[in-house]
Structure 1
Amino acid sequence: MKNIRSTSLIFATLIAAGAASMPSIAAARTVRVCMFPGNPTAALDTSVAREVFRVAGIAATISEKGIKDGDDDGVSTHELVKSLAHDCDVVAGFPVSSNADQRGTSMLYSQPYLHSGYVSIAPHGAGAATPEHETIAATYSSPSQLIAVQQRYAHYDLENTSEQTVNAVATKRAQRAIVWYPAVVAYEHAHPHQRFDVTSVTSEYSGWTLVFALNSGDDDLRQRIDAALTKLRESGALARLTRDWALPDNMHAAAVSRPVHARPAAGGIRLAGYTVSSGSPFGGGFIKVADSTASAGVPSFDKEQVAHGQALYTSSCAKCHGDKLEGNVGPALSGPAFAPAEHSHITVSGIFQYMSNNMPADHPGQMKDADYADLMAFLLYQNGYDAGKGHLTADIANDSSAPLNAGPRK
């Protein structure tokens, strides 16, 4: 998920003067609106999109297929820009945060139409669990995982979708979960008899908004969308559309259910449990999980690749992931939260594909294939694998189905 710094409502004067005086986009084309497949806010995004384009006087079609529908590798920034160029004109339900890096993208963003965030949920009336014996569910490679690992003394159940994360609490695989609030709403809509106790979490990763994302050449369309959103907001219609999805009124004042620390103290996190469940992740940049029957060994790499990969990491990755891969604004890239000692369901190819499509955050996918291969070699070395005589190439890393099980170097 990427960043937007929300603009103020600068289009109110345009509406007062009459938005019809602006150039007619409808006369030029019918706008194609796409969604992220599996997004828990799909129903909300559809309703808001239909109302926005109706108010804007723009003909629009909403694609049921969505972006990258049926692909479980997620959506990289490059793929999203490509879809905006060929398959659709607007993406509804695009999640953004003021704490994520959006440099290097050519996309435009509308005003937000939903302010939401990540919360902690537990079974209704269950009471507080003992922190030392608590299992926390979170969604892998998402803000919920970053928030979960900021909390001390817990086992972790990492799921591939937000729906599965909520379900982990409903089925008692976890005592609580860190999850995006709209996913809780969607789950309760699908399971009317299921209710959760919801409390806020304090984290730099918790606040997110939903916007419309557009290609860089469509600023006139963005202005029309913003003008329509302003009109819907002022009339109260937007509040009615989003009421069920917004955080409860008292959420901002709610107590944090467990202490959350911006930077965990050394040794303060106990990762005694680590599981990744199978499924089809939605949204941007999720890491593909391994086939549990895969037995191929981790591919070989040489010492020169490790040295070059370390230099690349220091210059391009350490600012987000920490000098020692311990994690900073980005997740840790070493240790049991990244590569458990055994039973990992994360593949070398999954890590490599995610990295080469989405990293570094300030210029995703822009390094050479050989550089990404050397970075992969450095990550493998830092997670317990020895350098050998073989040379790791991008093609080899991309095809490796080996699970990433870390361990002490022999």
Structure 2
Amino acid sequence: MAADHSVDPARWRVLFDQAMARIAGRFGRVEPRATARAYLLGLLSATERKNCWQLAEQAGLARPGPMQRLLRYARWDADALRDDVRAYVVDHLGDDGVLIVDETGFVKKGSMSAGVQRQYTGTAGRIENSQVGVFLAYATERGRALIDRRLYLPERSWCSDPERRHAAGVPEDLPFATKPRLAEEMIVAALDAGVTASWVTGDEAYGQDPQLRARLERIGIGYVMAVACSTRVRINQGRTPVRADVLADRLPASAWQRHSAGAGAKGPRYYDWAWIHIGTGVHRHLLIRRNRTTGELAFYLCWSPTQITLHELVRVAGVRWSVEECFQAAKSQVGLDHYQVRHWTSWHRHITLAMPALAFLTALAADANPARPADPQHPDRSHDPIILTVPEIRHLLVAVFAPPAMTAARLLHWSTWRRRHQAAARRSHYQRRSTDGPAG
């Protein structure tokens, strides 16, 4: 590790201790506080599946009980911890970021997990039996991280079924809320907590919601929200609204400008862009993106409290993809989707604990990567490695937080534990099937 000046194991350990100190007060007793620390270290480890059994084995525990109690019965407030994570992210990534709303799916088996039903999820790209979480991310030039979460509760299959809600631990007074309403709640909560952001962005699921856009305008925060090609807008104070794709076809060649939507894995992501003033104010636009190879179009409704440039709208539109990077890192690096819990409380606690793990990796990446010339062809960078990424930092942390040596006895203990519990589960399934089977 000494070969790279930006990698400092001792400093990383200190920064982890500081991050834990910020949230330690949320756990009133010593046991859940120590378990939470072990849980986070497990999420940051190289453990293949980051569920309670695997995390307990990683931590050197004799059984998964402490991890399971942390998620289900221990007394601590996941929303208060979420608030700490949000403040930590802003402290390390800086002010005046972009808030991004999006959802991700968690494919599940069975019907008992809170909020589960057959529904479309972009995670699978089709309708699957799944839970859907709506998330809020915060992005600046220094990085991006998840800062809030809500579990979507379907109206018919869950909100209208008191027995099912009770079994899954869903609060009795929790009303049905659409995904845009959940997004609105998180945005308002972040701004009320002092998060300084000038923009909100999201995909069509949120951009198509007029109530969300109106709320953002009332509180004075700009937005660049994706919408469908069939969206109708008014131009030149006309009375008849026109489809967005029809307007795009009418644009002359001179209306299109080439801009980068940000850096991708293979360099700047260049598209052709055009913007059209819509409505009655000078601060409202239809933004259009055109793929330079395929000609495919994408559309955004934009509003800002002050006059803005096309370049700035393009920048915000490009930032939206940061949330996809957050989901990918959260799932592949800190086990966001590795949980094996059904209860409402347990889901929120696991997801909330995954958020500081991701935030810590993001903070290390921001801390370890000093400002360097932006051009990769710059002579001062011709022999430099790429900057430290979140996956690379998580990989290095395996050595920084080396777990106790895995003895043969310890491996055998956990093998026996797993197989006994798997045998009990199999007997339970067989008994249930024999009971449900046809009469002889």
Please give the TM-score of this superposition, normalised by the length of structure 1.
0.23
Structure of higher CA gyration radius: 2
TM-score (norm 2): 0.21
